[in-house]
Amino acid sequence: MIRTAQLKLKVGHNKDELSKAAAKALKIKENEIADIKIVKRSVDARKKPELYFVYTADIELCREKNEESVVRRCKSPGIKIVNVSEYKMTEPGREKLESRPVIAGMGPAGLFCGLLLARAGYCPLILERGEAVENRQKSVERFWREGMLDVRSNVQFGEGGAGTFSDGKLNTQVKDPAGRNQFVLETLVDAGAPPEIIYEAKPHIGTDILRDVVRNIRQEIISLGGEVRFLTKLTDIFTDKDSVCGIETDERERIDTRVLVLAIGHSARDTFELLSKKPVPMRAKPFAVGLRIEHPQEMINLYQYGRKDIEELGAASYKLTRKLAGGRGIYSFCMCPGGYVVNASSEEGGLAVNGMSYHKRDSGNANSAMIVTVSPEDFKAWGMAGENDALSGVFFQRELEKAAFLAGEGKVPIQLFGDFKEGRMSTRLGDITPCIKGDYAFADLRGIFPKELGDSLAEGITGCGSIIPGFDRSDALLSGVESRTSSPVRIERGEDFQSSLKGLYPCGEGAGYAGGITSAAMDGMKAAEAIIRRYASNVS
C-alpha cells in the first residue's frame, strides 16, 4: 500500500478529482489505481476565502504495477510504502477467574472496556448508576424544560457517560502505535456513526447520533453474554487482605468479584468519597475552571474561512490559548460549533454548564469554555479546599457550583461580556440570542469566582479579541460555571493498571488518565487488555 500525503484539492471538488490527483502525484495513469482509501482530511484555509482540502490517502495499485518502483520514481518524502497494522486483541492469560469482572460506569471507558471483555469471552457485568440512554434522554430533556434535576440520571450520569449529551468531538492527542484510536473510531462507525469520522482531522458525531451508537454497542455486549444493570450504583468495595473480593450495589446487594474496573468519570463525587475511606491511593490534581462564551457562528466562519457560510465544511471551530499578565494562562476548551450551552448539573443546589451540538451543528451560535488552570495550592490559598486533601478539588468545584446556582437562582446564570468586564449586571441581551438548554437568568458571574480568577477570565477573553476579531465584543454571552473540565482527582495505578488494592482497575477520565471521549475509550481498552493478559476467559 502506498501512502500519499498532501493531495490538495479545492473545497467543493468532485469524487474523481481525488483519484486524478493521486495518479498525478504517483506519476501513474488513473486506471493503474485499484483502490483509494482516505486516511486523513484536513482544511487548508491559509489563502481564505480560497479553501482547500488536504488529503492523505492509501493507494492500492493494480496488480501489474510495482509499488517500490513507483515510490522510487516519485522521490517525495510524502509518498511511501506503509503496512497498515490493525489493532490486535490481547492473548488471554492463565489465571483462573472465579467470578465475572465487574465494571462500574458505562461512559466511553466502561463501554469500551466492557466491549473488549465481552468480545474476549469474559462476560462482564456493567453497573451504571444512571438510566439507559433512551430513558436518560427523557430525564435530561425534562430537566432542561422543567428544572427538575434527577440526581441519578442526568447529563453526567447514565448510559454513554458524560459524552452522550455532547458535541461528540473525537480528536485525541494520545499517541496510538497499537491502533486503539482506529479501533474506537471503527467500532463507532460499525455502531452507526458517520464513516467520515475515520479520516476527518476533527471528527465529530453529534449527540443525536451518539445516543444510537451507544445503544448499539450495549446490545453487542449483551449479545456476547455481558450484562448491564442500569440505575445500579456501586456503593461499597469489600477487601480481603490487599485485594478486592466483592462489591455492594445500592447499599443492598453483595456481588463477589476479584476484578473491579472503576470507570466512574469525573463527577462521581460520592464514589470518590467512598474510595478515600478505602486503602486506595488517590490525590488531588490540577484542573481548569471558567465560563462558556457564545458568539454568532457566522463570526467564527468568517474568521476561519473568510466566508460566513460554507456548506461543505459545516460550522467552523477554533482553539485559543493566551498567556496572562499574572503568569496564568487561559484557553478555549470543548468548543462546540453550531452548538448549545447545556445545564450539566448533577447535584441539588449546584449548577455546572457544558457544551453540546447535534450532528448538523446548526444552532447558529458557536460556544466554547474559556478556562484557567487551578491547582490544589490555589484552592488552599483561596480557603476553598475543605478538610480532605485528596478531595480538595471536589470541594472547590462544589463551592463554585453552589455560587453559580445561587447567582442564577437555580437557572443558568448569564452575563454579557461587557458587563462582566465592568462589574455590572446585564439587563438585556445584545445581538446574540442564547442557545442554551435549560432556563437562564441574568446574574453576576464574576461573584462566583475568587477575584483573581474573575480578573483572569476578563483579561484573557479581552486578549482573545486580538486573535479572533469580535471575540471580546461586549454582547458576547457568558454562562457559568464551567467546572467539570477534567477530574479533580487521580486514582493511582501501577504498570499493571491496578491500584495497590489488587483487583481494582481505575481507568478513564475520573481516575485522571484520560480527557475526552476517545482517550477515555482507549484507556478503558487498556484496562480490559490488562485483565485479559492476566486471566483465562473461561469464567466459572
Q: Does 510 bind ligand FAD (CB under 6 A)?
A: yes
Q: H helices of 359-508, where?
A: 376-381, 392-407, 417-422, 451-464
Part of the chain binding ligand FAD (CB under 6 A), chosen from 117-125, 304-312, 498-506, 516-524: 516-524
Q: Does 342 bind ligand FAD (CB under 6 A)?
A: yes
Residue 326 exposed, middle or buried by CB count within 10 Å (0-12, 13-18, 19+): exposed
**Residue 136 Cα distances to 201, 339, 430, angstroms:** 31, 20, 34
Q: Is residue 43 within 8 Å of 313, Cβ to Cβ?
A: yes
CB 403 → ligand FAD: shortest distance, Å? 20
Q: Does 472 bind ligand FAD (CB under 6 A)?
A: no
Residue 286 exposed, middle or buried by CB count within 10 Å (0-12, 13-18, 19+): middle
CB 487 → ligand FAD: shortest distance, Å? 8
Q: Does 109 bind ligand FAD (CB under 6 A)?
A: yes
Part of the chain binding ligand FAD (CB under 6 A), chosen from 71-79, 124-132, 280-288, 420-428: 124-132
Q: Does 271 bind ligand FAD (CB under 6 A)?
A: yes
Going edge to edge, which strands form the sheet with 253-256? 234-240, 243-249, 253-256
Q: Does 110 bind ligand FAD (CB under 6 A)?
A: yes
Q: Which is nearer to ligand FAD, 51 or 214 (CB)?
A: 214
Q: Does 517 bind ligand FAD (CB under 6 A)?
A: yes
CB 391 → ligand FAD: shortest distance, Å? 15
Pick from 354, 392, 483, 499: which binds ligand FAD (CB under 6 A)? 354
Q: Does 512 bind ligand FAD (CB under 6 A)?
A: no
Q: Does 193 bind ligand FAD (CB under 6 A)?
A: no
Q: Is residue 301 within 8 Å of 310, Cβ to Cβ?
A: yes
Distance from C-alpha of 316 to C-alpha of 391, rounded to nearest angstrom: 38
**Residue 367 Cα distances to 167, 290, 361, 415, angstroms:** 11, 13, 11, 14
Q: Does 233 bind ligand FAD (CB under 6 A)?
A: yes
The residue behind cell 455492594 is 248
Pick from 33, 140, 228, 356: which binds ligand FAD (CB under 6 A)? 356
**Per-residue interface string for the shown chain with ligand FAD, residues 142-181, x marking contact by CB under 6 A:** -------------xxxx--xxx-xxxxx------------
Q: Does 520 bind ligand FAD (CB under 6 A)?
A: yes
Q: Give the DSSP H or E segment for 253.
A: strand 253-256
Distance from C-alpha of 22 to C-alpha of 8, rounded to nearest angstrom: 10
> Angle formed by the axes of helices 180-190 and 108-119, to 10°?
90
CB 402 → ligand FAD: shortest distance, Å? 19
CB 369 → ligand FAD: shortest distance, Å? 10
Pairing of strands 282-284, 489-491: antiparallel
Q: Which is nearer to ligand FAD, 153 or 426 (CB)?
A: 153
Residues making contact with ligand FAD (CB under 6 A): 104-110, 127-130, 155-158, 161-163, 165-169, 233-234, 263-266, 268, 271, 334, 342, 344, 354-356, 508-510, 514-517, 520
